[in-house]
């Protein structure tokens, strides 16, 4: 199974809600759409789509979504049906339950992860990391 990196630009559609920097919310955000949060939320998120916490975004609460991408600051619990990504500069403190997780070297993570793979063994990939000093022939190698 190959997971493609989601881009924020790819999420910007008519069904994407964008909460801009400077907006402070308390309560629950829920829906069947994608949400890009650059503001602050004290409360919960329940989405069937993707939640992106942008670089200026902050959440304190519970998140239940299809996918979660963190570039900002999140504290609480996350349950993601598909994948959680903590990208460069992203900060997370709490517990995560998901099928797939990706944490950048330049991210902060303090918590626990439970892999929710629905009664099957998780896929393990062995790979060589591409760096500028490595050749173009190095690639992800399934084992």
The model's pLDDT over 74-108, given as tens digits with 9 standing for 90+, comes to: 999 999 999 999 999 999 999 999 998 999 989 99
Helix (H) or strand (E) holding 126: strand 125-127
How many other C-beta atoms are found inside a 10 Å radius of the C-beta of residue 111? 13
Beta carbons of 96 and 111 less than 8 angstroms apart: yes
Q: pLDDT digit string (tens) for 5-34?
A: 555 555 555 678 999 999 999 999 999 999
Residue among 142, 106, 117, 114 nearest 127 (CA)? 142
State how far the Cα of 143 lies from the Cα of 138, in Å rounded to an integer. 15
CA distances from 20 to 39, 40, 52, 56 (A): 5, 9, 12, 9
Domain residue limits, the chain: 8-142
Predicted TM-score of the model (pTM): 0.77
């Amino acid at each position: 199974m190959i997971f493609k990196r989601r881009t924020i630009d790819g999420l910007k559609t008519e069904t994407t809600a964008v909460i801009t920097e400077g907006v402070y919310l308390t309560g629950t955000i829920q829906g069947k759409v994608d949400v890009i949060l650059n503001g602050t939320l004290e409360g919960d998120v329940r989405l069937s789509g993707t939640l992106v916490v942008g670089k200026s975004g902050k959440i304190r609460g519970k998140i239940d979504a299809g996918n979660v991408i963190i570039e900002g600051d999140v504290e609480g619990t996350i349950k993601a049906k598909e994948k959680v990504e903590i990208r460069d500069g992203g900060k997370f403190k709490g517990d995560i339950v998901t099928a797939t997780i990706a944490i950048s070297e330049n991210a902060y993570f303090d918590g626990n992860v439970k892999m929710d793979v629905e009664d099957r063994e998780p896929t393990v990939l062995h790979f060589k990391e591409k760096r500028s000093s490595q050749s173009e022939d190095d690639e992800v190698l399934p084992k």
